[in-house]
Amino acid sequence: MANKKEQTNMQKKEVRKASKKIDHLDRKILSIITKDARTPFRDIADRCKVSRAAAYQHVIRMIDRKIITGSGYTVNPKDLGYSTCTYVGVRLEKAMLYNEVLPKISAIPQVVECHYTTGPYNMLVKLYAIDNDDLMDILSNQIQSISGISSTETLISLAQGFVRSMPIPGVDTDFDIE
């Protein structure tokens, strides 16, 4: 069993390997805007001890490099009438059918996420339904009718415990990647 220092070193190596080249200022900015995307550039600049122009240029560069892939408001699905949050494990007849099935899953408006996975399912789909009748309709008439899907397993979320952004190495964690 690895000790804490060895585990931290392994984490650093993995993060370093997967990390795009971003500097400490980028990470500081990311830490701020992932907590509140509406933070004014003036406040970001003050907290990072740089000019507004420098903060803005760093954000634009990260957008161009696809490090930042979006920003916006999060809407509570329940306030729109979607009371049932569901995860659907999808098994494909053959794993190679993923690229054929994905666009069909993507065309279902209630589906908000889809992942290609290892384990008992080939795909894990997150969707919102108005109620259980709506869920049954989505499952029976849309998802399960897609050619290439052999079976599904449905998990209804009873409560969302929390949602958070990934910690920014070197700012929100006790290790840095450089």
Can you give the pLDDT at residue 170?
79
What whole-number distance in Å separates Cα of residue 125 and Cα of residue 147? 16
Half-sphere exposure of 38 (CA within 13 A, CB side): 3
The CATH number for 117's domain is 3.30.70.920
Q: Is residue 28 a part of any domain in this protein? A: yes
Residue 15 shares a structural domain with residue 57: yes
Predicted local confidence at residue 85, as pLDDT: 98
How many angstroms separate the CA atoms of 169 and 177, rounded? 6
Instruction: For residue 2, give the DSSP letter.
Output: -
Cβ 9 vs Cβ 2: under 8 Å: no
How much is the pLDDT for 9? 66
Residue 17 has pLDDT above 70, yes or no: no
Stronger pLDDT, 44 or 166, i.e. the higher one: 44
- Residue 101 CB-density burial (10 A; 0-12 exposed, 13-18 middle, 19+ buried): buried
Q: Does 43 reside within a domain?
A: yes
* pLDDT over 70 percentage in the chain: 87
Give CA–CA dist 56/48, Å, rounded: 12
Same domain membership, residue 153 and residue 82: yes
Number of domains in the chain: 2
Strand duo 111-116 + 84-92: pairing: unpaired
- Give the Cα separation of 2 and 11 in Å (integer): 12
Does residue 167 lie in a domain region?
no
Q: Using the predicted structure, report yes or no on whether residue 14 has a pLDDT greater than 70.
A: no
pLDDT surpasses 90 at 150: yes
8 A C-beta contact, residue 19 and residue 44: no
pLDDT per residue over 72-113, tens digit each? 888 999 999 999 999 999 999 999 999 999 999 999 999 999
In a domain, 108, yes or no: yes
| Same domain flag for 86 and 56 | no
Average pLDDT, the chain: 90
How far is Cα 107 from Cα 96, in angstroms, rounded to an integer? 19
Q: How far apart are CA 121 and CA 18, in angstroms?
A: 25
Last residue of a domain, one of 25, 41, 65: 65
Report the Cα 158 to chain-centroid distance in Å: 20
Specify the DSSP class assigned to residue 141.
I
Asked whether the predicted pLDDT for residue 118 surpasses 60, the reply is yes
- Is residue 169 included in any domain, yes or no? no
Average pLDDT of the residues in 126-154: 98
Question: What residues make up the domain containing 50?
Answer: 7-65
Tell me the whole-structure pTM to 2 decimals.
Answer: 0.76
The CATH number of the domain holding residue 18 is 1.10.10.10
Sign of CA dihedral 141, 143, 144, 148: positive
CA-to-CA distance for 160 and 148, rounded, in angstroms?
31
Is the pLDDT confidence value at 18 over 50? no
In terms of domains, do 23 and 88 share one? no
55/90 same-domain check: no
